[in-house]
Amino acid sequence: MGRLKVNLCGLELDNPVIPASGTFGFGYEFAELYDINLLGTFSFKGTTKDARFGNPTPRIAECTAGMINAVGLQNPGVEKVIAEELPKLKQCFNKKVMANISGFAVNDYAYTCELLDKEEQVGWLEVNVSCPNVHGGGMSFGTSPEAAAEVVRAVKAVTTKPVIVKLSPNVTDIVAIAKACEDAGADGISLINTMLGMRIDLKTRKPVIANKMGGFSGPAIFPVAVRMVYQVANAVNIPVIGMGGVSSAEDVIEMMLAGATAVEVGAANLINPYACRDIINDLPRVMDKYGIENLSDIIGGVK
């Protein structure tokens, strides 16, 4: 399996495939189906300082080649994640895990990251800046280079592990935001988070989900994700994790050619819980088909 290995912010992964946050729980749920140690790693459910019940239901809407969700960061809060979820994960996963962190104020991010940074199981901190800034009029931190950079500086001041900033595609210039995060000390960038979408029920003439709008994901957004990964990877000097509609080994290789060091798989896990396992198992076949000896050789192969 050596030909699948990649290095992400100084830590070696057996392969570049990472289930995305919000689609893989805290891991142990999927460990009942297969040995999750075959994964590169995974990004666990988005965690906030305090427990969150999430948005009202219905939260999910189906779309052509995708889905819309507005779960609302439902999670038990960082203290319970550390006390209850991580010990359960340790029973079935012997690799470093990626902690996904969300917040609604800069201090929230710093508090949550500082606690998770102390956990031996955590290898990387994936900081989601797509959350509404409650002190900034409700616009997400990730829509402003300055606001995103402020979060990065606050988190880096209280942590020692690699900080990977997860960016929203719902912006005018994602490259400017990525560069601002790099300048503020980010160790990596992950993108794209979900796009903003909406469905309307023709019978009721009302939005399908209670939140009206939600995050649009799935194969339909893959070309947008490849484009943004390419743009950001060519603008920064830190590793990029690509995601957005990835559902096959071919998609993983396309993302890596665009500049991704590793690749997250999201919505595909909700359709097929074995998606990541199947993608990893299929990578050697696809590599042979396209004459690829080692995956690390093709990162950023398209200029």
pLDDT at 137: 66
Residue 131 catalytic?
yes
Could you give the angle at which helices 249-258 and 222-233 cross, rounded to 10 degrees?
30
- Distances in Å between the Cα of 259 and the Cα atoms of 208, 226, 296 are 36, 9, 11
**pLDDT of 1 over the 60 cut:** no
Count of beta carbons in the 10 Å neighbourhood of residue 96: 18
Which range among 2-11, 25-34, 93-102, 131-140 shows the weakest confidence by mean pLDDT? 131-140
Q: What percent of the chain has pLDDT over 70?
A: 98
- Distances in Å between the Cα of 300 and the Cα atoms of 115, 245, 251, 256, 283 are 34, 19, 14, 6, 18
For residue range 151-179, what is the model confidence (pLDDT) as tens digits?
A: 999 999 999 999 999 999 999 999 999 99
Measured distance CA(172)–CA(48) in Å, rounded: 27
Tell me if residue 239 falls in helix, strand or coil.
coil
User: Of 9, 113, 131, 181, which is the active-site residue?
Assistant: 131
Phi–psi pair at 201, nearest 5 degrees: -80, 120
Please report which residue ranges of the chain form alpha helices under DSSP H.
Answer: 28-31, 78-80, 86-90, 106-117, 145-156, 174-183, 222-233, 249-258, 267-271, 275-289
Tell me if residue 113 falls in helix, strand or coil.
helix
Measured distance CA(13)–CA(94) in Å, rounded: 13
Domain locations in the chain?
A: 2-298
- Distances in Å between the Cα of 242 and the Cα atoms of 117, 222, 237, 268, 273 are 23, 10, 15, 14, 20
For residue range 59-109, what is the model confidence (pLDDT) as tens digits?
A: 999 999 999 999 888 999 999 999 999 999 999 999 999 999 999 999 999
Averaged confidence pLDDT in the chain: 95
Over residues 4-8, the mean pLDDT reads 98
pLDDT class of 299 with cuts at 50, 70, 90: very high
Q: Quick one: which of 114, 118, 109, 123 has its CA closest to 152?
A: 109
Q: Quick one: which of 41, 72, 69, 79 has its CA closest to 55?
A: 72
Contacts of residue 120, Cβ cutoff 8 Å, sequence gap at least 6 = none
Q: Give the H/E segment covering residue 213.
A: none
- pTM, rounded to two decimals: 0.96
Measured distance CA(105)–CA(131) in Å, rounded: 9
Instruction: Report residue 5 as tokens.
Output: 């290995």
Tell me if residue 164 falls in helix, strand or coil.
strand
Q: Which CATH architecture has domain 2-298?
A: Alpha-Beta Barrel (3.20)
Please check whether residue 210 is in contact with residue 59, taking contact to mean a CB–CB distance below 8 angstroms: yes
